[in-house]
Structure 1
């Protein structure tokens, strides 16, 4: 944690929120939004700050999206990606649809479509409606579906118009991943620029799909470990924002299990549950919570569960938006005080 004097210096002399967060040692874990579905759509840049309200195609979909989220409580994350000169086709729009396949899972199931531009809104509408109506029926668009379940997709936020930090720090990481790692993957990895998906104070931040893990404060020298998993997990744990299949306190516990278990943990099917949490007013963060993480091997050969207690362990000063004069806020930090394998 920085001293008060250092914090004041950063507030006065640095306009990037992510630089303040990083310098003050903010822990990233537990900051990944919980998702059951991802809807990712190609829309050409530039992206204004209010792209979802200003783009005519997106604007036409907002009513149904809001119904899904606010009336039906569906955990759906919409993101836009920039068309890529190599990956994309003029006159066509790519749509990724990822969904949670079961209660216990390790990665999201993927459907990818490349449709004529004038059919993109119809496809997204059909996806949205099936989330309410069930069952899954996108047969009308079957001819446009791509067989790309084997491809890993990295989504890097470069949405400068929402926050300067994402452009300043996200763009170089995107370029390095796109130039060095995607071409060397033999078609198994693609890298995309995306609109804001939360947490610009953690720029450069990215989503790793289909796994659904979020990473932040990334540096060039950890990309090899992120992509190839060719070293100790301890080298990546401070960049881990969390797995989007879990909620905040479950994510904090899950990182601790991952550190102990190693890389193989990411492939285990898992689910989480908050057992009990301190009751506080809505505007306050609880000081403690107890959670359970159930897991199983993909072949069913091993099952088990962990229970963990998460406790507040202090605060750091952070900024949520970049600006000439930053407004700093105290952010509660947590640690795992107890982790026990119960089954």
Structure 2
């Protein structure tokens, strides 16, 4: 049987536009876990009753609120250390109080004396009961400034992430950028793929050189627009309008709090309305999102099966009169 090509190679060759493939997260928990622990967390059949209960409660939270959450597993800089978590919450306060700065997520760091096998406690206490982070088993530590690049290097899940993710992770570290070897978070065919926090941007098809340029903002948004999966703080279709505005306004756009709604019409097309904090108060933009011809791609390097992959185009963008 011939060896399958990497799914990421197929995606690039097909010219897939990755925008709108970022998950929509209201908050993100990063668990610092040694690589062998990643497989244990992913092994649903081996979960304890406590771990099962935590995920059942998290499913209930998502169903009740409609707000998703991110779970990232990143290898700690010192293997074998006790459980540490980084918790990011979406920063939309600037829209509520009229401020102009407040894009992306707000990071808070917590250390404990718990073993890494108690990872379910980290999820419970950040995502379900944040009051437990005050005292008890947790000690809050100052969060460092600057970006964190979480690069999927999980080659056992998909070979593309091992082939392309590891060199990107190494290049970022060599350039002095804070980078993390990270477990699978979706999007094998976008390898090397990365979650950038606190900006909340997800990236696709990074090369070692491009990853460093993106982290240092040595390229313009227009130059890397085709590598952007989207801003996780917005619904997927709203990420198309957000990318357009990022290209238009430049990297400073990321300092604005943004929220959006997506209206679906009877014909299946959509209209996105996005409001962002601005220098003189909230600004609102609107645009149609149109369905383009789908691509047929493999979602995994380990399977020959293809499936339709949706593609979209953005219609004319208008700034709403008087803004909102």
TM-score calculated relative to the size of structure 1? 0.81
Q: Is the 8 A contact 2:168 2:192 kept in 1?
A: yes
Question: In the alignment, is residue 35 of structure 1 matched against residue 25 of structure 2?
Answer: yes
Pick aligned residue for 2:293 from 310, 314, 325: 314
| Counterpart in the other structure of 2:109 | 112
Equivalent-residue separation in structure 2 for 1:123 and 1:231 (angstroms): 36
CA change 1:163–1:47 in 2 (3 A) is: farther
Name the structure 1 match of 2:72.
79
Match of 2:282 in 1: 303
Instruction: Provide the C-alpha distance between the structure 1 equivalents of 2:186 and 2:38, rounded to a whole number of angstroms.
Output: 16
Report the alpha carbon displacement of residue 123 of structure 1 after superposing the two structures with TM.
4.4
| 1:289 and 2:284 aligned | no
Alignment partner of 1:230 out of 214, 218, 223: 218
Q: CA 1:330/1:127 → structure 2, altered by over 3 Å: closer, same or farther? A: closer
8 Å Cα contact 2:246/2:253 also seen in 1: yes
In structure 2, the gaps of 5 or more residues are 96-101
Equivalent positions of 1:159-170 (< 5 A) are 159-170=154-165
How many angstroms apart in 2 are the aligned matches of 1:48 and 1:114?
A: 19
8 Å Cα contact 2:8-2:189 kept in structure 1: yes
Aligned residue for 1:326, secondary structure, equals coil
Distance 1:255 1:179, change over 3 A: same
How far apart, CA to CA, are the structure 2 residues paired with 1:126 and 1:224? 34
| Cα 1:82–1:61 shift into 2, 3 Å | same
1:1-343 pair list within 5 angstroms: 14-46=4-36, 51-53=41-43, 60-70=50-60, 72-73=62-63, 74-84=67-77, 88=78, 90-102=80-92, 104=95, 105-118=102-115, 121-130=120-129, 136=131, 138-141=133-136, 144-182=139-177, 190-274=178-262, 276-279=263-266, 286=268, 288-297=269-278, 301-323=280-302, 326-342=304-320, 343=323
Alpha-carbon distance in structure 2 between the residues aligned to 1:58 and 1:158: 27
- Uncovered stretches (5+) of structure 1, i.e. residues with no partner: 1-11, 183-189, 281-285
SS in 1 for 2:36: coil
Distance in 1 (alpha carbons) for counterparts of 2:45 and 2:114: 14
Could you list the structure 1 runs, at least 4 aligned residues long, displaced by more than 4 angstroms after superposition.
Answer: 47-50, 54-59
Query: Aligned partners of 1:159, 1:224: CA distance in 2, in Å?
Result: 20
Does structure 2 retain, via aligned residues, the 8 Å contact 1:99–1:110?
yes
Mapped partners of 2:248, 2:186: distance in 1: 28
- How much does 1:279 deviate? 4.6
The answer as to whether partners of 2:29 and 2:71 remain within 8 angstroms in 1 is: yes
Tell me the number of residue pairs that the alignment of Structure 1 and Structure 2 aligns: 308
How much does 1:201 deviate? 0.9
CA contact (8 A) 2:175 2:212 kept: no
**Distance change in 2, residues 1:46/1:262 (3 Å):** same
* Contact 2:20 2:240 (C-alpha < 8 Å) held by counterparts: yes
Counterpart of 2:99 in structure 1 is none
CA contact (8 A) 1:53 1:59 kept: no
